[in-house]
Amino acid sequence: MPVLALIFLAPWVGEFLLGNLSVRTLPLIAFLMPLYGGGALLIREVVRRTGRSYPAMLVLGAAYGIAEAGLVDLSMFNPPLASQGFDLVSTVSFVVGHAVWSITVPIAVAEFLAGPRRTVPWLRGRGLAVTASAYLAGCALIFSDAYASAPVRPSPAQVTTVLLVIVLVVAWGLLAPPRVHPGTGPAPRPLWLGFGTFVAASAFVARPETTFGLVLGGCVLIAAWILLRRWSQAPGWGLWHGFALVAGVLPVYAWLGFVLTGLLEPGDGVRWAGNVAFALLAAGLLLVTARAVRRHYVST
């Protein structure tokens, strides 16, 4: 059950709740599951098998985002405002969007739903091999379409640079020693943590696509990383804090989906209705996840 939930949630959150794809194209989720779901499941299994946790998932999620933007759909070199074949501003948005919403949030929800199996591996050797094969097949499928239609194709030097960055980011996620901050103060209450997360995530996605926006987004990311690393090691941090982070981040893509519909197809009533349905589904998903967290506390 948690495996299937993760495979579905990764493309649904990353593309449909975001509003990047309309409800009209929902059947396409089957073609996105190998890429998004396979990538998220692989990251989750690698992190849990190496004894690491969500900081590593975020970092590996960033590596996933770099791979997708630079090697698979080539959006790193063909964004709408690309200049000289590369746009750092748009690339940062793509990578962070994948790391947080396409990978880490679906993993967190699936793990909450898994109950006592939350932090243990879900796949055996054959399952890992099948997942890796599905992910590579998904990459090939999306790449074949993107490469055929891309107005600008990356040079060998650009591809080599992307591969090198991916290797460095993966090494950071898997080899960097965990940092401990002894003597930190108490963690914030889950309610305030969730509200603050929603505000910070909304500020990140709503920032202007300019150099100023790039700097602002970097400041938000650095501040969030430092604070969450400290708070997560503070006394009293628990599952409700993790749920608060998910509950603060997920609705951001819900409201952003309405914004994108207004920009892309404002006259499409079916697409607007799809946004409403997806937002309600996200709210229901949070309710189910909250019940799973509550059951954990009752059982322990």
User: What type of residue is 106?
Assistant: P
The mean of the pLDDT values for the chain is 90
Q: pLDDT category, 295, cuts 50, 70, 90?
A: confident
Quote the pLDDT of residue 296: 78
DSSP 28-75: GHHHHIIIIIHHHHHHHHHHHHTT--HHHHHHHHHHHHHHIIIIIS-T
Which range scores top for mean pLDDT: 39-43, 116-120, 181-185, 187-191?
39-43
Cβ-based burial of 69 (10 A; exposed 0-12, middle 13-18, buried ≥19): buried
Q: In the predicted model, is pLDDT for residue 35 greater than 80?
A: yes
Cβ-based burial of 180 (10 A; exposed 0-12, middle 13-18, buried ≥19): exposed
Quote the pLDDT of residue 145: 86
CA dist 148 and 164 (Å) reads 25
Quote the pLDDT of residue 182: 56
CA dist 15 and 101 (Å) reads 9
CA dist 146 and 89 (Å) reads 20
Percent residues over pLDDT 90 in the chain = 71
> Which residue, among 174, 8, 21, has the nearest Cα to 102 in the 3D structure?
8
CA dist 75 and 68 (Å) reads 8
pLDDT, greater one: 155 or 108: 108
CA dist 288 and 292 (Å) reads 6
| 215-233 confidence digits (pLDDT tens) | 999 999 999 999 998 898 8
Secondary structure of residue 77 in the 3-state scheme: coil
Quote the pLDDT of residue 123: 92
Biggest alpha carbon distance in the chain?
A: 57
Percent residues over pLDDT 70 in the chain = 93
Arithmetic mean of pLDDT, 21-46? 95
Q: pLDDT category, 90, cuts 50, 70, 90?
A: confident
Secondary structure of residue 236 in the 3-state scheme: coil
Quote the pLDDT of residue 81: 45
Arithmetic mean of pLDDT, 117-136? 93
Arithmetic mean of pLDDT, 229-251? 92
